[in-house]
């Protein structure tokens, strides 16, 4: 198959790979770069498990054509920690028992981070809107919503 060279920033690091025609960003990240933190949940843009940030905006990597991210900056759940230190969202997800099977968690975290980076003190309604594209089949969402709200309070305390 014809391969196309592709360069972008992945969690702050410059990467260069070759992609097949029509390859999704999700496949590029998982199969070419080896970042398994974005998950395949549907390939339809319907579940949010593959959510990553492109230049700070949340996208569904399964329906994003890999070639379109040339020169852009991609953040995935794998890059959330700073060194060994958990991101406030990760810590809050733990405290609130906001994961069961854990498969939606990376996408939830990135959807929440997209909100967080623009709006460090969201309302419950804003949190619900932010995760509205992400399916969780285990928790019933309440613990996730509260984790994001708690993370906001946690960051306020730090500031």
Partner 1 sequence: MPVTVKTFATPTEAAAALSSDRSACYIGGGTLVMRALNEGDVSIATIVRLEDRSLTQIRASGARITIGAGVTLSQILRERELSFLHAPARLIGGPAVRTNATVGGNLFAPAPYGDLAVALLALDATVSVMSGYGARDMALEEFLASRDRSPGALVLSVTCDRPPAPEAFRFRKVARVKPKGVSVLSIAVSLSAVGGRVSGPRIAYGAMAPTAIRAKAAERALEGKTLDESGIAAAVAAAAEGTSPANDAIASAWYRREVVGVHLRRLLLGQDG
Partner 2 sequence: MLELRKDIFADERDDNLKEIGKPTQRQDMLGHVTATSVYFNDHKLQGMLHLKVLRSPHSHARIRRIDLSEAERSPGVRRIIRGADVPHNLNTLLSLINFGKDDEPTLAVDKVRYKGEPIVAVVADSQREAFEALAKIRVDYEPLPTVFDVEEALKPGAPVINETYPKNTFTYHDIYDHQKIRFGDVERGFAAADHILEQRYQMSPIEHAPTETNGSIAAPDTNGRYVVYTSTQALFFSLDTCAKILDVPSNKLHFIGGTVGGGFGGKVDTVTEPLSILGAMLTGRPVRYMIGREEEMLYCAPRGAERIFIKDGIARDGRILARQFRCLFDSGAYTRLSSYAAVKCAAHLPGPYTIPNVYAEVYCIFTNRVPATAMRGFGVTAVDFAIECQMDKLADLVGMDPMEFRLVNAYRDGDMKAHRREAKNTALIECVQVAAEKAKWRIRDDFKRMSSLKEAGGQRPTAPPPVREPILVNRSAGQQRTVYDRPAPPPPEPIRPPPPAPPPLAQPAPAPSHGAIRFSSVFGGRRR
Partner 3 sequence: MAKLRGRGMSSMNYPIGMNLGGDPSQALVHSNPSGKFTVSLSSIDLGQGMKSVTRQICAETLGVPVEDVYVDTADSDTGPHCMGSFASRGTHRVGNAVMAAAREARGVMMEAAAEELEVNVADLETDGRGNIHVKGAPHRSISTKDVAIAAQFRQGRTISGRGIFLVPLSDVDPETGEMSPATCYAHACLVAEVEVDDETGEVAMVRMDSAYELGRALNPRLVEQQLVGGAWMGISHALYETPEPYYPDPSHGPRDFDEYLMPGPGDICPHDITVLERPAPDGPFGAKGPGEMCANPVMPAIANAIFNAVGVRMDELPITPEKVLRAIKAQGGARPQARR
The residues binding partner 3 (CB under 8 A) are 42, 44, 46-47, 97, 99-103, 127-128, 131-132, 135, 137-145
Q: How far from the centroid of its chain's Cα atoms is residue 36's Cα?
A: 11
Here the tokens at position 78 are 């794998």
CB burial class (10 A; 0-12, 13-18, 19+) of residue 43?
A: middle
Taking CA atoms, 90 is separated from 24, 62, 158, in Å, by: 27, 23, 15
Residue 18 or residue 97: which is nearer to partner 1 going by CB? Answer: 18
Site for partner 1 in 121-150 (CB under 8 A): 128-134
> Count of residues binding partner 1 (CB under 8 A)?
33
Which residues are near partner 1 by CB under 8 A? Answer: 1-2, 4, 20-22, 24, 43-45, 48, 51, 54, 57-60, 62-65, 67-68, 111, 114-115, 128-134
């Amino acid at each position: 198959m014809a391969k196309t060279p592709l360069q972008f920033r992945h969690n702050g690091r410059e990467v260069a790979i070759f992609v097949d025609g029509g390859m999704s960003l999700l496949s590029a990240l998982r199969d070419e770069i080896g970042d398994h933190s974005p998950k395949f949940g549907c390939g339809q843009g319907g579940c949010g498990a593959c959510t990553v940030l492109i230049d700070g905006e949340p996208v569904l990597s399964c329906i994003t054509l890999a070639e379109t991210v040339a020169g852009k900056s991609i953040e995935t759940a794998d890059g959330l920690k700073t060194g060994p230190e958990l991101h406030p969202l990760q810590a809050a997800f733990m405290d609130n028992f906001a994961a069961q099977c854990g498969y939606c968690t990376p996408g939830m975290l990135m959807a929440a981070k997209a909100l967080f980076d623009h709006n460090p003190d969201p309302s419950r309604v804003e949190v619900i809107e932010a995760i509205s594209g992400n399916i969780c089949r285990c928790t019933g969402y309440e613990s996730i919503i509260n984790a994001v709200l708690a993370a906001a309070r946690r960051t306020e305390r730090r500031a």
